[in-house]
Amino acid sequence: MVATVFLGAGVLAGATACSSPASFTASEGLREPVARDKGFEITVPALWADDGAGTSGTEPARIWATKEGSALFTIDLADIKAQGAGAQWTAASAAAAAVGSMVSGVNPGRVDVDFGVTGPIDGPSAGGILTVGVMAALLGAPIRGDMTMTGTISPDGSIGPIGGVVLKLQAAADQGYRTVLLPLANMSLRNPETNAVESADEVGKRLGLEVRSVGNVQEAFALFTDDRFAYPSAPAFVLPPAVQELSTRQVTALLALLADEAALLPANQETDAVNGLLARSAAAAESGQVATAYGIGMEGLTMAARERASADAQAQVAASGVTSAASWLTDWLDRSTASNAAALAQGIQLGDAMGYEQQLTLPNALSWLAYNDSILQSVQQQLDAGALDAVGIDRYARILADVDTAINVFYPNQLAIIQAAPAQPGPGAGPVAAYLSDYTTFLARAGTAQQDYVQQVVMRGQDPAELARQNDVGLLLPVVLNLSSAAAAIPSSRDSLSDELLQATVAVTYYIATTSLIATVQNFGVDQFGIGADPSAVQQPEVLVASMSTAKMAVDQVAALLGQRGLDASLPVWAAAYGTGAAEALAGTPEATAAQVLALNELYFDAITVFMLQSGPVQ
């Protein structure tokens, strides 16, 4: 079914000023954080622009944060809401609190953050500068008074694109700022009068500004603090020999499985595409590009499984009619639901016998199954809503093929990587369970703020249940709503390690799903996420590529620091490598968007995993 909810594809126009806010002028030297209540308070300049009115300015955003919070992770947005700021601003604030906590390397379960603004400003483009402010408040770091920035924030810390760049640069110049940091994707600007493309750097020079690009908030924070709080350099993390050997065996097995699947497909254009991916994967493996070979093989196997499911669905309809085919599909759904539940239960139980890094990494692999669970619920809801036609049977058969491939191949392979990786003995089940409980609370609350944004801005206040019925599962919206319900059911009490592993898996998956929905729709212009079918064409391809690149950089950077401390980060490094390897190898092909969306989604999970390892109870 075609999506009927308006999703505002493309980049939002930065911000909307509902009234004239107080400006925040530049200052010489450093802005020093003020100590209070076991933490620090600092004010940062958030650029805003109203394209319709042609106005812009700098909003003083006050941020207080502590690493010694008395309650589990809290985000106080009362002052912001009292000033009339909308869902976009509050979501940006919550995302900044979440990412700032993770990137700072502190235990987010003990973080409290309070935000305040002076006027009703709305817009996600403040996410980057707010995250810098959260980091400065948590670390007690002074920041440059002559610098500001604009850009959205992603779970991996990457800085995403915004609108209204020229107006924001003008505001920065008017308020006396000397340097403005922009997202990589916004460094080329189109002149609306001449339609010519010019660099943001040149526009800045005409205004007396130095314009610099930043890929992630770590880079931005280093610039704001003149490198006094930059991430230290460390040798790149190298996969342990046992993991390298296993990954090579997995590629061999994946290629054999893909060849078997391709041989069963009818001769048509889709089969040609599958065989093309098989050939590319085999060539990469022969040249020693193991991760790239695996990523391309994933794309090929996914496509082959979908085509087989489609052929089976069409055969069922032709042989016995739509009604019998619907029963066949329902039986398949029941089998997949049972298999997924069994795999999730078995995977959770493995946690008790695992080493420290393996326990904290396990939710990354289990997220395949938590995601599956919400997809299966969404399919069931669609089937319950009314009679299916032949097109619907074909569509949901393809979706179930995705689910089964994840259950039978992709999840077991990731689990095996975790089990093959070395791990510290760890501090025991109690401290790990307590840490996971804190992280679960942290991500669930941050996800709820993102969910508010989805419902108020993306869905424009419409009834979520009705929209879920109207919109296809591939839109991701019904899946996000089911994950929201699962996250809301997480108890606040601390439970056993097994329970906490399950709850952490749900919270991580929920947070990433809400963020992915917002990013794909608004940053990249994608309105079909790739569940059971390839994603729709990307309206902002350069933005997607830049986001993928900076996310990979963040994962590798933190993994290197973990390796220096003797902690293993095999799964996130492996997953980041096969995702980006396939995306780069398939650039310019019909499969490019599917590979890029898969890679970025993997990178989001990988980033959270390395952040969890960075601030965990073993230091």
pLDDT at 119: 64
Alpha-carbon Rg for the chain, nearest whole angstrom, is: 24
Place of tokens 């995306």: 583
Mean pLDDT of 300-323: 96
Q: 66 CB contacts (<8 Å, ≥6 apart)?
A: 37, 38, 39, 40, 111, 112, 138
Q: Which two tokens stand for residue 232?
A: 């230290």
Tokens linked to 210: 């130095």
329, pLDDT greater than 70? yes
Quick check: 503 and 436 in contact, CB under 8 A? yes
Q: What pLDDT score was predicted for residue 2?
A: 26
* pLDDT confidence band for 157 (50 / 70 / 90): confident
What percent of the chain is predicted at pLDDT more than 90?
59
Strand 159-160 and strand 121-122: pairing? Answer: unpaired
For residue 409, pLDDT beyond 80: yes
Q: Which residue has the higher pLDDT, 493 or 246?
A: 246
* Residue range 423-478, pLDDT digits in tens: 999 899 999 999 999 889 888 888 887 777 777 666 676 776 677 666 677 678 88
- The strand pairing partners of 17, in sequence order, are 121
Maximum average pLDDT range among 59-68, 126-135, 361-370, 475-484: 361-370
Q: Which residues pair with 211 in a beta bridge?
A: 180
In one-letter notation, the amino acid at residue 616 is G
Higher-confidence residue of 434 and 71: namely 434
For residue 82, pLDDT beyond 60? no
Which backbone phi and psi does 49 adopt, to 5 degrees?
-150, 140
Q: Please say if the pLDDT value at position 13 is more than 80.
A: no
The predicted structure's pLDDT at residue 457? 67
> What percentage of the chain carries pLDDT values higher than 70?
89
For residues 171 and 157, what is the distance between their CA atoms, to the nearest angstrom? 25
- Using the predicted structure, report yes or no on whether residue 139 has a pLDDT greater than 60: yes
| Cβ(107)–Cβ(615) below 8 Å | yes
Position 582 pLDDT exceeds 90: yes
Whole-number pLDDT of residue 27:
92
Half-sphere exposure of 172 (CA within 13 A, CB side): 31
Render pLDDT for 515-527 as a digit per residue (tens, 0 to 9). Answer: 888 777 666 767 6
CATH class of this structure's domain 16-224: alpha beta
With contact defined as beta carbons under 8 Å apart, do 152 and 159 qualify?
Answer: yes
Number of H helices, E strands in the chain: 19, 16
550 — pLDDT class (breaks 50, 70, 90): confident
Note the pLDDT of residue 14.
Answer: 39
Measured CA to CA, the distance from residue 335 to residue 52 in angstroms comes to 53
More confident residue, 385 or 599: 599
pLDDT computed for residue 528 by the predictor: 72
3 state SS of 497: helix
Beta bridge partners of 69: none
Q: Are 464 and 455 in contact (CB under 8 A)?
A: yes
pLDDT reported for residue 559:
96
Task: Report d(CA 77, CA 90) in Å as an integer.
Answer: 7
pLDDT band at 94 (very low <50, low <70, confident <90, very high): confident
The mean pLDDT of the chain is 88
- Number of CB atoms found within 10 A of residue 82's CB: 11
pLDDT (tens digit per residue) in 265-295: 999 999 999 999 999 999 999 999 999 999 9
How far apart are the C-alpha atoms of 308 and 264, rounded to whole Å?
Answer: 8
In b/e form, how buried is each residue of 514-540, taking b as 16+ CB within 10 angstroms? bbbbbbbbbbbbbbbbbbbbbbbebeb
> What is the reported pLDDT for 20?
45
pLDDT at 7 over 70: no
Q: Please state the rounded mean pLDDT for residues 13-40.
A: 75
- pLDDT for position 79: 61
- Name which of 262, 276, 274 is nearest 300 in CA terms: 274
Q: Lowest-confidence range among 221-235, 451-465, 488-502?
A: 451-465
Which range is least confidently modeled, 77-81, 340-344, 513-517?
A: 77-81
Work out whether strand 152-153 and strand 188-190 pair parallel, antiparallel, or are unpaired: unpaired
pLDDT category of residue 387 using cuts at 50, 70 and 90: confident
Two tokens, residue 182: 């922009």
The predicted model gives 110-135 an average pLDDT of 82
C-alpha to C-alpha distance for 413 and 243, rounded to whole angstroms: 11
Q: Model pTM greater than 0.85?
A: yes
Q: Output the pLDDT for position 22.
A: 61
Could you tell me the residue ranges of all domains in the chain?
16-224, 241-614
Name which of 75, 67, 141, 62 is nearest 108 in CA terms.
67
- When mean pLDDT is compared across 206-215, 302-311, 545-554, the lowest value belongs to 545-554
User: Mean pLDDT throughout 483-487?
Assistant: 93
pLDDT score recorded for residue 441: 86
**Residue bearing tokens 């609350």:** 445
Residue with tokens 């070395």: 422
Tokens 């980091």 belong to residue: 135
What pLDDT score does 473 carry?
76
- Contact present, 473 and 403 (Cβ < 8 Å): no
- Helix (H, G, I), strand (E, B), or coil: what is residue 423? coil
231, exposed or middle or buried, with CB in 10 Å at 0-12, 13-18, 19+? middle
> Which pLDDT score, from 0 to 100, does residue 382 have?
86
DSSP 248-300: HHHHHHHHHHHHHHHHTS-SSHHHHHHHHHHHHHHHHHHTT-HHHHHHHHHHH
Quote the pLDDT of residue 109. Answer: 76
Note whether 127 and 119 are within 8 A (CB): no
For residues 288 and 574, the answer to whether their CB atoms sit within 8 Å is no
- Which is nearest to 416 in space by CA: 283, 294, 279, 599? 294
Please give the pLDDT value at position 227.
86
In degrees and rounded to multiples of 5, residue 48 shows phi and psi of: -140, 160
Q: Is residue 103 very low, low, confident or very high in pLDDT (cuts 50, 70, 90)?
A: confident
Residue 78 DSSP code: H
- Ramachandran region, residue 460 (left: φ > 0; alpha: ψ -120 to 50; beta: rest): left
The pLDDT of residue 1 is above 50:
no
